[in-house]
Amino acid sequence: MFSDIYALGRTFPFGWESERMQQKLTFVLFPYASRAVVSTTLFVLALGCVFAAIGYVFFPFLGYTLLFLTLTGCVGLYIYPSHIFYTQAIGEYNEEMLRAILRMVTYISMDTSIEYAVVETADHLHGTLKLQFEQIKHDLERKQQVTLGKALEQYLDIWNSVNPVFVKSFRLLQTAALSEKKDRAAILDETVETMLLNYSTLGKRYAEELSGNAKKLITIGVLIPIMSLMLVPLLSIFMPNFAKPSILAFIYIIFFPTVTLIMALNFAAKRVQIDTIRIEEAAEYTPLPPWLAWTGIGIAFVFAVPTFFFLTTVQAGEPSAESFFAIFMGWLVGAGCVVGLYLYAFVYGRKYASLWSKVNEIEQDLPHLLQSFTTYLTLNIATENVIPEVVNDYKKFGFEKHPIVGAFSKLQRLILTSKRTLKDIVRHQLPKLLPSRKVNQVLIQIVSFSEISQKSSAKIAKMVRSQTMNLYKLDDYIKTMLAETIGLINITITLLAPLLAAAAVIMSVAIVKSLVFISEQLSLIANSFGTTAIGFTLVDTTKIIPPVFIEAIIGIYLVETVLVLSFFSTQINVGNDKFKFFETLRSNLVGFAIYTVLLFGGYLFVVEVLFKSILLS
């Protein structure tokens, strides 16, 4: 998202270099140096202040907004690489560490050396850990380091600072590789148990910490802003210079959502990721065209035009400012944002639903697939003959439409028609047939050991199945720990926030109507005593902010709240899964529909029934 902006800072490097930030950026493979980040921040700050000053001259709200967005943007540009991006990268780094240890365990269990395990594991990693393992592989192959211990020295401090258990497990693997066969299995089991226990503890601590953080997020991002809006009509009477529509729009549309987003990013980035689905790694994945996002923005703009035009014509104290038509016009701007977001989320879900479902189905069925491989390989059936047997088993039990069947059928045809080896076909063609990178790596590992012996391949399949089951159990345990917090967030999005938002609008309408009505009655009483009598005045109704302004602000704010909390809910539930985010967002937008029903129903009941029956009786 920030790529083009940081590229600008790289083009004009007039900032300084932060050594501490540069260490973090280098570690997580951030594509821009710290000098480019600082330069970008200073450039945006200077340019934003100029535009804010110009905007303030013509329209104060525009000046406030540009200045705040400039300051917020500068803070975001500066801290995003070294904090948010870094924290998310560390989460993936830890996930790769777990998988690296499990993969090395399988190699060492087959009487291979620790050096061979590191070299083979390097080909199946990604991100920072992949570069580190490839560097170790390079140093060993080129004899730049005599022993593995020497090659590891440059990374031990880094690994200890991120995940000390990884270093301990690595040491245990070195010990296992040098141990007798009867002791090796016990050491390997201890290594796996230590890693899983560590990640389980981290997940439990995160869940406990998140429970309090989620309540803070809901309080600051939902309760305080919406409940404070109920007092705006009274505040506009006693503090007319402060409670202006432009200032209120800035506070509730810009300030509070920005603070909520920063808190959500910070809390969600610490999620312990174990089994994240990444459809972006599939060969058939193609990004959505940019024009779709602009279409959603255009729809929101079209809906907003009538509302903004109506707001320029409405006057405080006029009956039209609290009419049903005014309520509808104030609702329209929020509805436009919902339609635009829903369109984009719907198209995204429609395009990638099949791919995500396919990846999820394949990965969830991995234990069964490995069990089938283990069974046939134990019977000393060649690996290339196991593939048609697996296809027949799936078809026999009514799973002929399973993605594994289609992929393995195509793989079988390639084996029969191609002159390449099975290992070469699986390594280069299987990623094009199976969209799950995780399953592809497992199958490549099994095939590579089948060249040694079928018994070795069967043992690997059995061990990987056991590890996969442990990972799934661990991921399920973490999700169970987070279930209560996720439920709290979802009920806030779909019920609490819409209820409070509708109540705030209805309360503001009721307060304004009551104040206007009482002021009119006092004026009639004063007029009945004659023009020389002392006038009775309750409030100056011309200074009251019309409820339609508050409604328009609340509508936009509610949509922003749904957007931010949906992102937060998805991140802590399943990790960085973009498809699930848009799926969650689409389902949570029902909160705006609940808000709509409560808003119009409450208005008709309170204003048309209660107000007329009590005040006008």
Confidence category of residue 343, pLDDT binned at 50, 70, 90 = very high
pLDDT at 335: 92
pLDDT of residue 383: 81
How much is the average pLDDT of 252-279? 79
pLDDT(96) > 50: yes
Name 206's Cβ contacts closer than 8 Å, sequence gap at least 6. Answer: 270, 271, 272, 478
Measured from the Cβ of residue 84, the count of other Cβ atoms closer than 10 Å reads: 16
Is the Cβ–Cβ distance between 408 and 390 less than 8 Å? yes
Higher pLDDT, 198 or 318: 198
At CB < 8 A and 24+ separation, what contacts does 388-393 make?
388/412
Cα–Cα distances (Å) from 322 to 144, 300, 516, 525, in that order, read: 79, 24, 11, 24
**Strongest mean pLDDT among 20-24, 29-33, 252-256, 543-547:** 252-256
Q: Is the dihedral of CA 169, 173, 175, 176 positive or negative?
A: positive
Q: Could you state, in order of their start, the residue ranges of all structural domains in the chain?
A: 1-178, 211-354+482-614, 363-473
State CA 14 to chain mean position distance: 33
Please give the Cα distance from 413 to 493 (Å, whole number).
Answer: 50
Secondary structure of residue 384 in the 3-state scheme: helix
CA nearest to 485, candidates 422, 571, 547: 571
Q: Which residue has the tokens 């391949």?
A: 457
**What is the pLDDT, as a whole number, of residue 597?**
92
Task: Quickly state the pLDDT bin for 533 (edges 50, 70, 90).
Answer: very low
Query: What is the average per-residue pLDDT within 485-511?
Result: 86
Highest mean pLDDT pick, 320-329, 540-549, 586-595: 586-595
Task: Give me the pLDDT at residue 341, please.
Answer: 92
The pLDDT value given to residue 534: 47
**Position 346 pLDDT exceeds 90:** yes
Does the pLDDT value for residue 213 go beyond 80?
yes
Distance, in Å, from the CA atom of 469 to the CA atom of 440, rounded to the nearest integer, reads 17
**Which pLDDT does position 455 carry in this prediction?**
78
pLDDT confidence tier of residue 521, bands split at 50, 70 and 90: low
Pick the closest to residue 118 from 141, 146, 91 (CA basis).
141
Torsion of CA 492, 498, 499, 505, to 10 degrees: 140
Between the alpha carbon of residue 501 and those of residues 201, 409, 479, 497, 498, the distances in Å are 39, 55, 30, 6, 5
